[in-house]
A and B are shown apart, each in its own frame.
Chain A
């Protein structure tokens, strides 16, 4: 029983590692939003376990890891996760393709909010490179969804 409780935190730590793992600069711009996708999945599958509170804490940790002002990523991540949490039953009934389209919108929202906040805080200039992760996230979602569903069912994460 105790093992089942730790499986979600373990998956979140793995997502953090994938999110900050050093990569060559040419591949780095395509890095998908591992953490956001994972939080979206758990919110959809187990909304009583993972929700806005967990997302806010993960966002602050990501801010510390990224060296951005505290609160930027928690602000930006909590909005898409809120949309998932409010509509999780609808989400579960979508096909994977429809879910991927929703992930496109959620991930775009996340990146735009991060950009707006960064613009307000430091005045960065917009580049379309910033939106590559949206595309890769959409293509990652079907695989991640399949993998995480197996993970959840085989290991009986509840």
Chain B
């Protein structure tokens, strides 16, 4: 049925009402702290849409898995076996070093660092919104994910959890303009704050004095200050330094180690105390090879 005469309030009044409601929603969303819980419910409500949108990609990768050739699987298998052998050899050395480090720290009365529990998660959706860098992963509150948990990939820190849903959650990437991470240079422990600049392959270091001991190619690792990210994970490497004396600070750009534009599998980290039962324990692959602690008796 076509209506010749419009009913209800005029178009302009409706526009004004929607605009006012939108602005108040923005203000409530950014200023009211407890609104995050409401967003969790809203996220869970729209997550079916995300699952459907993810289907074509999931089907493509499923069929690619099904139809990959036998020769390629054999090659992959061989490559991975080699990699595992090499890595477990390295791991053995690392375990001895770790034990040694622990013992030395005990001698110095320094607190022993806990290793983290981990869980592997998969990327579900990437935000297509160019103004913020966020991704959605397929683990949520049911798996024990908590707010501001650290997320890593195989080469470095990716970001932190910004919203937890029931079965999925949202990760804010380190390259987002609203994200900052405390780092230190691996070489000399000088501390900085690395801020995302809205592009996937660069970050800026803030408030770097012109005289700071910093070089191109320096490796930045998380400093553990701020108590969001655990200490000592690689974050970025410094690519350019512009020391323009007319500016108050040097302009330092760094490139994240994590491949933020090709994320597929990610790691979630838990501190030992709060880890859920389903998380992988740090020594899961070497259950019965704990080294004897000798130093305490020797004293």
Contact = CB atoms under 8 A, between A and B. Distances in A.
Interface string A64-92: 11111111101100110010011000000
A3 interface: no
Contacts of B46: 61, 64-65
Contacts of A60: 25
A25 interface: yes
A13 interface: yes
Interface string A146-158: 0000000000001
B150 interface: no
Contact of B134 (A53, A67, A117): A67
Interface string B18-38: 110111111011100000000
Nearest to A55: B18
| Most-contacted residue by chain A among B21, B131, B198 (CB, 10 A) | B131
Contacts of B222: none
Interface in B110-167: 123, 125-132, 134, 162-163
Contacts of A117: 26
A60 B134 CA distance: 18
Given A66-B127, A123-B177, A129-B130, A78 B53 contact: no
A16 interface: yes
Interface residues of B, number: 50
Most chain B CB neighbours (cut-off 10 Å) among A16, A20, A72: A20
A67 B132 contact: yes
A71 B53 contact: no
B49 A82 contact: no
A109 to B, nearest CB: 14
A48 B39 CA distance: 31
Contacts of A78: 15, 18-19, 22
Nearest to A29: B130
A56 B2 CA distance: 23
A115 B28 CA distance: 19
Q: Do most interface residues of chain A lie in helix, strand or loop, or is the interface mixed?
A: helix
Contacts of B262: 25
Contact of B170 (A22, A48, A67): A67
Given A22-B125, A64-B46, A125 B198 contact: yes
Contacts, number: 139
A17 B56 CA distance: 10
B128 A75 contact: no
Contact of A71 (B23, B57, B177): B23
A122 B197 contact: no
Contact of A20 (B12, B42, B45, B128): B128
Nearest to A120: B26
A55 B18 CA distance: 9
B3 interface: yes
Given A28-B128, A68-B132, A86-B11, A121 B3 contact: no
B50 interface: yes
A82 B125 contact: no
B26 A69 contact: yes
Given A20-B53, A65-B46, A68-B132, A53 B26 contact: no
Interface of B: 1-3, 11-12, 14-15, 18-19, 21-26, 28-30, 39, 42-43, 45-46, 49-50, 52-54, 56-57, 123, 125-132, 134, 162-163, 170, 177-178, 197-198, 200, 261-262
21 contacts: A20-B127, A25-B200, A48-B1, A52-B14, A52-B15, A53-B18, A64-B42, A66-B127, A66-B132, A67-B134, A71-B22, A71-B26, A72-B26, A75-B22, A75-B23, A78-B15, A79-B15, A82-B11, A122-B132, A127-B130, A130-B131
Given A21-B128, A52-B11, A52-B14, 15 more contacts: A21-B53, A28-B126, A56-B18, A66-B127, A66-B128, A66-B132, A67-B129, A67-B170, A71-B22, A71-B26, A75-B23, A82-B12, A82-B15, A85-B11, A118-B131
